[in-house]
Amino acid sequence: MTDSQMSVPIGNWTQYIKNALTGNNSFLQFLIGKSGGGLDDPAETGCDKAFNASYQCGTGVSKIINIEGGARGQTVDFDCRDEMDKCDGFKLTLGDDGNLVLTNSKNEQVWTSNTNNTGIAVDKYKAINGKYKRNYLKSGESLQLNEFIGSPSGNCYLQMIKNLDGNAGLELLYTALDCTMKGEAVGYGNSKDSNGLYSIPQINTKNLGKIGYVGDNGEIREYPQNMVSNSNSYYSMGKYTNNGNDIDTLKNVSAQVCQDKCNSNTKCAGYVFDTNGGVCKTKNYGMFPFSNRVPSETAELYVRGKSVANNASCTKKVDMSSALEWELLPPGIKMSPSTLCGLGLITQNEIKALEEANQDLRGITGTLESKLRDLTKEDAQLVSSLGYNVDKLQKDLKSYNNTDKRAKHYVKQAHHADAMNDDATMNMISENYHYLLWTILAIIIIIGGIKATRQFS
C-alpha cells in the first residue's frame, strides 16, 4: 500500500499503521488521531482536520480514502481482502511424474509445465528434505538461491539457481544415470550433471613390499627375501608424514644427513623429513605402505628402494609399481640365483638349432658369392666386348668419313666436267648455227642469181 496527499505531514499517521493491523496483511484498520501512541492532536487546536489517502493492492487499481473535516477519531479501513481471495489458495505442486501444476483455492488447475523429465530417486532431493518439507509452494512462499522443493521420491526437484548471466531463476532438475563403463570395475559419467559410479577392487595387502621379475611370457616371478637387500635410492611419496615406526629422531639436520642416517641402518625402510626445524625421523619396516600416511604441509615421506642379487643375464633395475599391477599379472615360479633371463634362457638345443641355421646361411652365402663372381666375369667380358666394338665402330666411322670426303671431291670434279661439256656443246651448236646461216644465205644468193640470169636471157 502507498500513502498519498493528506492534511497533515507524512509521518504523523503512517507509523501507527504498523500497530493497527487486524486479521492478516490483506486488511488494516486505522483510528485517526491517538492511535499507536501518537499525539492527540498533531495540528493546532481547533483546526478541523481532513484525512486523504490512496493505496494499492498488489498491481491492482488505486483505492482512495477521503474524509473531510472532523476526521479525528474516525476509523479508516485499508482493505485488500477481495484481491487476496483471488490470489490466496494457489499452490504450485511438483510430482514424481516431473510435471509442475498450479492450482487455485478451488483446487482447479490453472497452469501446468507439461514436463516429464525425471531421474533416479535421490534422498537428498526428496520433498521432506526441501525448504518447506513438502512438494509444493503456497501463495506468498518463495525460494532463495540454492533452495528447492523436491518431488515425493526425490527423482526431480525445483531449485532457485544462478544463471550464466548472473540472474537467479527457478529450474526443474533431476539426477540421471549416465555412466559409460571403462572396464569391469571402473566407470565414469559422460554429461556434466551425471553421477559417476566407481568400484574399487580389493587389493591383497600381502603383496605390498614384494619384488618380482616380469618375464617375456608376462608372468611375474617373485624374488625370495634372500635375494633382496636395501639400496641407497629413495622414492618420494609426497607431502606426508607417518606416525610411529620410528628408529631415530634427529633435529636441525639436512635432508642429506637424514638419508645418510637411513643408509647406515639395514633396518631402515625409509624416513620422514620435516623442513620445519629440520626434523628427521628414520622408520622401520612397519612404515608406509604397511601403515597409513598423514598429509603434512612441511614434511615429506621417503620409502627406501631395493636391490636384487640375480644372474648376470637379468636386469638389476628395480622400479616402483602398485599392488594392483601385481594382481593383474599371472604368477610364475620364484626367481633363484641360477635363473636365466633374456638371452640366458636359450638352451643348448636352441643353440645347436641356431648353429645349424647359421651353417645353412653360410652355405647360401657361399652360393651367392659364387654367383656374384660369375656375374662379375660376365660383366668384365661384356665390357671388354663392348670396348672392342666401340673401337671398331670409331674406325669405321673414320673410314666412312674419308670416303665421304672423296665422294664429295669426285662429285665436284664431275660438276666441272659437266660444265665444260655443256660449254663445248654450246660452242658447237653456235658454230653449227653460223654454218647453217651462211649456207642458207649462199642458197638464197644462188637462187637470186639464177632468177637474174633468166631475166636477161
Q: Identify the residue with better confidence: 285 or 455.
A: 285
* Chain-centre distance for alpha carbon 169: 32
Mean pLDDT on 293-322: 88
Q: Does 145 share its domain with 249?
A: no
Which residue, 345, 375, 401, sits at the end of a domain? 345
- Give the containing element (helix H, strand E) for 43: none
Mean pLDDT on 300-322: 86
Which residue, 293, 326, 345, sits at the end of a domain? 345
Q: What DSSP state is assigned to residue 206?
A: G
Say how far apart CA 324 and CA 202 lie, in whole Å: 9
Q: What DSSP state is assigned to residue 261?
A: H
User: What pLDDT score does 321 carry?
Assistant: 79
Q: How far is CA 313 from CA 285, 341, 342, 414, in A?
A: 30, 5, 6, 99
AA identity, residue 246: D
Above 90 in pLDDT, residue 300?
Answer: yes
Which residue, 278, 313, 345, sits at the end of a domain? 345
As a whole number, the mean pLDDT across the chain is 77
Mean pLDDT on 325-353: 77
Mean pLDDT on 436-454: 68
Position 193 in a domain: no
Above 90 in pLDDT, residue 416?
Answer: no
Say how far apart CA 213 and CA 332 lie, in whole Å: 9
Q: Does 273 share its domain with 298?
A: yes
Q: What DSSP state is assigned to residue 182?
A: S
Q: Does 59 share its domain with 102?
A: no
AA identity, residue 212: G
Say how far apart CA 216 and CA 197 lie, in whole Å: 36
Closest among 262, 207, 257, 253 to 233, alpha carbons compared: 262
> Residue 222 corresponds to which cell in the numbers above?
617373485
Q: Does 252 share its domain with 130?
A: no
Position 247 in a domain: yes
Domain that holds residue 235: 206-345
Number of domains the chain contains: 3
Backbone angles phi, psi at 366, to 5 degrees: -60, -45
Q: Does 159 share its domain with 248?
A: no
What is the strand order of the sheet 279-283 is part of? 228-238, 299-308, 270-274, 279-283, 246-250
Above 50 in pLDDT, residue 442?
Answer: yes
Across 86-100, 330-344, 430-444, least confident range? 430-444
Position 316 in a domain: yes
Position 445 in a domain: no
The position carrying cell 533431476 is 174
Say how far apart CA 55 and CA 289 lie, in whole Å: 76
The domain that holds 211 is classified in CATH as 3.50.4.10
Q: How far is CA 280 from CA 226, 265, 272, 305, in A?
A: 30, 14, 6, 18
Position 364 in a domain: no
Q: Does 158 share its domain with 239?
A: no
Q: Does 164 share its domain with 246?
A: no
Q: Does 28 share its domain with 132?
A: no
Q: Does 341 share its domain with 274?
A: yes
For residues 79 and 24, is the Cβ–Cβ distance under 8 A? Answer: no
Q: Does 213 share its domain with 307?
A: yes
Most confident range (mean pLDDT) of 54-68, 174-188, 293-307, 424-438 is 293-307
Of the pLDDT bands very low, low, confident and very high (cuts 50, 70, 90), residue 191 is low
pTM: 0.37
User: What pLDDT score does 399 carry?
Assistant: 77
Q: Does 231 share its domain with 156?
A: no
Say how far apart CA 405 and CA 50 lie, in whole Å: 151
Position 321 in a domain: yes
> Residue 175 corresponds to which cell in the numbers above?
539426477
Of the pLDDT bands very low, low, confident and very high (cuts 50, 70, 90), residue 262 is very high
What is the percent of the chain with per-residue pLDDT over 90, rounded to a whole number? 25
Position 8 in a domain: no
Position 312 in a domain: yes
Q: Does 100 share its domain with 79?
A: no
CA angle 410-415-416, nearest 5°?
Answer: 100
